[in-house]
Structure 1
């Protein structure tokens, strides 16, 4: 059955546009790049390689082939510098702003750098896009904005107090977007991502996301540390669902859908214990004789919320968003990449 998302993809492939992606070498940015190049779009990307090298870009180049790769222009630069923001936005129709310093623990250890990248850099991109007349500005918001509000599922209009410097920066992004709408009539759309995972997500370092970190550890036969009792739950969202949301938000023709903030998730709760079991099952399926060590439980991590689950009704209603991959289905797809690349 042809979906709304299928129709949008067909439409933009028939009439290519110029897209700018910040953080293009990262996990989400490189997946957006791959999808847009496959749809025969022209893409300009910016990255400073502060958290990763060019390995993701090389993989995309190999996957899409040289003819489509020629539609991509890369600038090494930093969103903290206005001239770099102007370079990537030049002649762009649509900006997908993904560049940021992620990680709650990193923001607690180094709030100044997190602020500079996530607030100063965001404002640089927002102001540049507004002054240059960019048609659509889509930015990566975060579920961390819900903070200490206990209500489930999380609804866009009800948030609590931030629990980390990272959460503060993401809330400030949304506030700036609201002000730019009121003052300059420039509408920026925020996508509150919930625990995104998938191919090309970095498994290395102290701030690695849980799924690639656990896959990488178990593939090496190392025991896995689980924060708390393992009953902490998250709404894990496969990368293809996030790509869909970005493209739908960038291409919507509904005026009321612009300038909004949306939850982007699968809307399913998974505990860390359940996640560990799902990952072990994927590894066993690929190597039945593999010895998998049991998890080790340690203290809860500062700044973490206990449970997170998204209400995605607003994105469904205004954008036509329909996530295609559950946690289990996403893990089945991601496991092949993890197995061959970690």
Structure 2
């Protein structure tokens, strides 16, 4: 197959591109490199187009002849969206509309990455797809708009489309070198440097962490089987780990307790998140999620083996 991956030089995108190539597919990656690194795809036999999904000409060229489009390009992070809501909207909502129209033009199947953040302040656990979404940040609102456009294109134009709600993905190639870094690489970076880890609030906030290999397995099967659905699907399997538990697990894997710096709770932060995994298991019954501790061990070993290089997310994925 010929597969276009937007955000293909990013954390999830580069891991996905590597596996797609290993499975014999032709891959075109498009990335504006605003939060990604070209070194993430060094050595991969793919066609990297540097540009934004908001650029109609670049996007049309990248999608020409595509059998499937995996749309991962976004401006990530709640904090970024609080600082610049319009940028998040344009990249995440308008950008998704552009990708959907490009896919419709060439008749490609499309998979769109949404986010667990769309559930927002809805307190119900686990998060099932039929819950009312209550976005608590501009980022969450932009992702809800993105998946809504995806479902609208499926309903109105018959587009083969799948919107997946990703939950706190972590693993090799995830950057740890900036203020918006996700919690796992940020904590592992501090731990490997012998520094205390920064915990916001009381540390009892919890997440349904998903190892990147699990996400890639679902994405690969999505495009190879041309999976589509009439509503969003959680891409997580119903685990729940608190930030304090994460600190303890990293310490256990490193064989020493970690120091902690207490920091204020972050605005727009969701207190608890745990997925209902019924839909993902029904659609992808053969996908076995990587256990959290196993994924955390792989992440620590990868970052430790590359030293400072790993802090940028750059370097070999395994």
Q: Could you say which TM-score interval applies, normalised by the shorter chain?
A: over 0.9
Report the counterpart of residue 192 of structure 1 in structure 2: 165
Report the counterpart of residue 281 of structure 1 in structure 2: 252
Pair 1:299–1:39, CA change in 2 (3 A) = same
Report the counterpart of residue 42 of structure 1 in structure 2: 26
Q: Distance in 1 between matches of 2:181 and 2:226?
A: 37
Q: Is residue 333 of structure 1 aligned with residue 306 of structure 2?
A: no
User: Helix, strand or coil for the counterpart of 1:213?
Assistant: helix
Q: Distance in 2 between matches of 1:118 and 1:202?
A: 20
C-alpha displacement at 1:91, in angstroms? 0.5
Report the counterpart of residue 202 of structure 1 in structure 2: 175
Counterparts in 2 of 1:79-228, with a 5 A limit? 79-134=53-108, 136-228=109-201
Q: Distance in 1 between matches of 2:96 and 2:276?
A: 26
| CA deviation string 1:3-37 (max 9, x = no partner) | xxxxxxxxxxxxxx111101011000000011011
User: Helix, strand or coil for the counterpart of 1:102?
Assistant: coil
Report the counterpart of residue 315 of structure 2 in structure 1: none
C-alpha displacement at 1:218, in angstroms? 1.5
Aligned residues: 307
User: Helix, strand or coil for the counterpart of 1:149?
Assistant: coil
Q: Distance in 2 between matches of 1:321 and 1:128?
A: 31
Pair 1:243–1:151, CA change in 2 (3 A) = same
| CA deviation string 1:227-279 (max 9, x = no partner) | 1111110000000110111122223367xx53441111132100001101111
Q: Is residue 270 of structure 1 aligned with residue 241 of structure 2?
A: yes
Q: Is the 8 A contact 1:245 1:321 kept in 2?
A: no
Report the counterpart of residue 209 of structure 2 in structure 1: 236
Report the counterpart of residue 316 of structure 2 in structure 1: none
Q: 2:289 aligns with which of 316, 320, 324?
A: 324
Larger Rg: 1
Q: Distance in 1 between matches of 2:301 and 2:189?
A: 12
Give the unaligned 5+ runs of structure 2.
311-318
Report the counterpart of residue 218 of structure 2 in structure 1: 245
Q: 1:53 aligns with which of 13, 37, 40?
A: 37
TM-score, normalization: structure 1?
0.86
Q: Is the 8 A contact 2:54 2:91 kept in 1?
A: yes
Q: Distance in 2 between matches of 1:146 and 1:129?
A: 27
Give the unaligned 5+ runs of structure 1.
1-16, 62-68, 285-289
| CA deviation string 1:61-93 (max 9, x = no partner) | 2xxxxxxx43x1111111111111101101010
Report the counterpart of residue 260 of structure 2 in structure 1: 295
Q: What is the root-mean-square deviation in Å for CA atoms of aligned residues?
A: 1.5
TM-score, normalization: structure 2?
0.93
| CA deviation string 1:170-222 (max 9, x = no partner) | 00011111221222111320110000000000001110011111111121122
Larger RCO, structures 1/2 (Cα 8 Å, 6+ apart): 2
